[in-house]
Amino acid sequence: MAENTTDASNGAGQAAPVMPTMKILGQFVRDLSFENVAAQKAIEGATQPEIEIRVGLDARKRPTEKQYDVIVKLNVEAKTKGDAPETVFLIELDYAGIFHVDNVPEGQIQPFLMIECPRMLFPFIRRIVSDVTRDGGYLPLNLENIDFVSIYRNEVAKQMANKKPDA
């Protein structure tokens, strides 16, 4: 016989923990720029360019209860290798998601928004970057997974360092 799964207690008289929930209500490109510098300046280079990726995150509360905007800001710069590297192409992408987040404790909402929400958006960001580079005449750039936990921890550490009082 199956157990009743709607019971909120676990038999010990304690309420079962309520799990956080997240729904993506919408997602969209806020800003996208692709500069094909190599084509503009007739830069030639048969070698694979060096790729530098910078990621920024932003999250803010929406006027509607339990809804948040999360924005991943990606900057990808490809440069030629050598003593005088030149920019081959540059991508600037701001990709946003609107999330409904429930059952997350107040003290944990910021890490949740800055880690879990960008993880949900990342596959779409990867696809956009791949398509844009391919359409720009290059091999599709397939981004490696981004460690949003490290990005969040680095940002928190930077904020803590800036808040330290001078001795």
Give the three-class secondary structure for 92.
strand
CA distance from start to end of the chain? 67
In a domain, 45, yes or no: yes
Q: What is the CATH number of the domain that holds 53?
A: 3.10.420.10
In a domain, 114, yes or no: yes
**pLDDT tens, residue by residue, 42-84:** 766 556 789 999 999 999 999 999 999 999 999 999 998 888 8
In a domain, 120, yes or no: yes
**pLDDT tens, residue by residue, 133-147:** 999 989 999 999 999
In a domain, 106, yes or no: yes
Cβ–Cβ contacts within 10 Å for residue 144, how many? Answer: 8
In a domain, 51, yes or no: yes
Residue 156 exposure: Cα atoms within 13 Å on the Cβ side: 10
* Full domain range(s) for residue 27: 21-161
In a domain, 12, yes or no: no
Contact 152, 115 (CB under 8 A): yes
To 10 degrees, what angle do helices 148-163 and 117-135 make? 110
| Tally of structural domains, the chain | 1
Residues 6 or more apart in contact with residue 24 via CB below 8 angstroms: 97, 98, 99, 120
**pLDDT tens, residue by residue, 9-39:** 455 556 777 888 999 999 999 999 999 988 7
